[in-house]
Amino acid sequence: MAAVKRLLKDMETRILVWLARSRMSSVMIVGTLAAAGLGAAALSAQSTTSAQQKEPVVSSAVQPMSAYGCYNDPDGDGHIFCDGSTPISQLPASYGRCHVSEYGYVQIRCRGTGW
């Protein structure tokens, strides 16, 4: 078994020395990089195709408050008021804890940055 390991080690060393001295090493490196690039492109194309078939996910950070029927409390204490056109469960988490308002013209009141 030791003889086989020694033979393989010698072959490995000779191949590495040959690659280092010849121009073949450059060809092999370029070929390896090209194959890796083609493989990455093929995988990227597959993931793009599957991503296009899914429903688009819209980030809440991109949506303005008005898209949810909400606006900042005019008194500036950080609360957010919503007209109820968007259910509480679909409001962004950044609005804080929300509840149905029991008074006035506001349907939903969110904590926002206020206390």
Q: What is the pLDDT of residue 62?
A: 59
Low-confidence ranges of the chain (pLDDT < 50): 51, 60
Domain boundaries of the chain, sorted by first residue: 2-53, 65-110
What pLDDT digit, counting tens, does each position of 92-110 carry? 888 889 999 877 777 898 8
H or E stretch covering 22? none
Q: What are phi and psi of 78, to 5 degrees?
A: 100, -10
pTM confidence score: 0.44
Greatest C-alpha distance within the chain: 90
